[in-house]
Structure 1
């Protein structure tokens, strides 16, 4: 009997493909795409092989009503990979979206004057997991004129598999 379960790589590729398709459809519709929905689309695809613990907005950013200033976890979700032998690896993830304003491209790593970064790293230290960013860079035509560097790059960036794969990246 063979195990027909997908591999972790296959599941993560499926998640990236779903997020990519959502971003493409958002661009084509003129409605755009947002960070939270892109994350949800991706996380739905990894279940149940990858265990996901999403955080609420108050958990992520903190609750200002609390006496201690309401420190948050600084992350959107916690991922756990558990091997068949019980070995596990955790990763706490903050999602970020590439934003374009005319010719200015930004990813806001300094959100809330750096508080989110500090919270992310403090939580990672406390949980003994790797802090990471999920970067939603958008479909290739969104990132134009930046290409992947393939020789003889196609003029239609959506025809370049390497450019497509870069639509979702992780930054430790």
Structure 2
């Protein structure tokens, strides 16, 4: 009998990065056509365009409204490698609003149940994954005022940033200055199609933790080598948070925590900095040696258990 991971892997020869690029281009086309017709565009439809465009390597499983009366607004992403290693993240979609000089991404949004970011973090904790935002920045020629740290005349990264990912830990800090939130988030976010690829340019980030000995040998090796697939997605996000941690003025904690056998690394640093919770634990709890049972069920049968359907809008499985 074939492995369930392989059984759900009829995805052709196209790479995951190319699939995600196709999804991003479909989002760009949707935004372009909406603006040409003088229509607004939404995060919900952009997410549908992204997932449809990235198929079949990216599989989307969502309940119909007939199946479930209550559905969350968050999407649960799982990056799944052939060897079973996987990385999960709970994503809330946000789009860019405003005009040059008055850009806005509302990380402080509040509904009758409370602040959206608090609800996102709570649900992510229940699923044992990090909380992130999928940011839709729209067409490059409509946001020429937004630039990354290494911007050039023809910046490929800024072009790819139409669909990007930002950790909720960073968004929580960025939200403290709402007038600059959209521009700062653009600087710190990572284009979605870059997540499965890690080039290791940031290996020197962790000197402050290497010095105090709070990294296990396995974790140290993970942070010192380039990664691909699910490991890369986790590494890109922890690198982003670690970079911001270096800019924070607080002492580094040498304490560690035993997180059990489910995550790929069973011991993680407890350093927190100015973030609302320890960032290694928050990000790397989503990196696991094997996917949860509901991910395998979704691959084989396209169905989700009721407790998942009640919490998220759907599950996205990106097969690396």
Return the TM-score normalized by structure 2.
0.42
The Cα of 1:130 is off from its aligned counterpart by: 1.9
In the aligned structure 1, how far is the partner of 2:58 from the partner of 2:88? 10
In the aligned structure 2, how far is the partner of 1:95 from the partner of 1:163? 19
Counterpart in the other structure of 1:42: 50
In the aligned structure 2, how far is the partner of 1:107 from the partner of 1:101? 12
Two-structure CA RMSD over aligned residues (Å): 2.6
Which residue, out of 161, 174, 178, partners 1:166?
161
Which residue, out of 77, 80, 86, partners 2:78?
80
In the aligned structure 2, how far is the partner of 1:124 from the partner of 1:106? 25
1:21 aligns with 2:19: no
Counterpart in the other structure of 1:33: 41
In the aligned structure 2, how far is the partner of 1:150 from the partner of 1:102? 17
Structure 1 runs, 4 residues or longer, greater than 6 Å off: none
Q: How many residues align?
A: 150
1:143 aligns with 2:151: no
Q: Given that residues 51 and 79 in structure 1 are in contact (C-alpha distance below 8 angstroms), is that contact kept between their aligned partners in structure 2?
A: no
Q: Given that residues 151 and 158 in structure 2 are in contact (C-alpha distance below 8 angstroms), is that contact kept between their aligned partners in structure 1?
A: no
In the aligned structure 2, how far is the partner of 1:28 from the partner of 1:162? 25
Q: Summarize deviations over 1:111-153 as a string: whole Å, max 9, x none.
A: 11662111111111111112110100111222133345644x3
Secondary structure of 1:59's counterpart equals coil
Q: Given that residues 50 and 80 in structure 1 are in contact (C-alpha distance below 8 angstroms), is that contact kept between their aligned partners in structure 2?
A: no
The Cα of 1:34 is off from its aligned counterpart by: 1.5
In the aligned structure 1, how far is the partner of 2:132 from the partner of 2:103? 20
Q: Given that residues 20 and 164 in structure 1 are in contact (C-alpha distance below 8 angstroms), is that contact kept between their aligned partners in structure 2?
A: no
In the aligned structure 2, how far is the partner of 1:36 from the partner of 1:21? 15
User: Which segments of 5 or more consecutive residues in structure 2 lack a partner in the other structure?
Assistant: 1-10, 168-320
Return the TM-score normalized by structure 1.
0.73
Q: Given that residues 15 and 41 in structure 1 are in contact (C-alpha distance below 8 angstroms), is that contact kept between their aligned partners in structure 2?
A: yes
Secondary structure of 2:14's counterpart equals coil
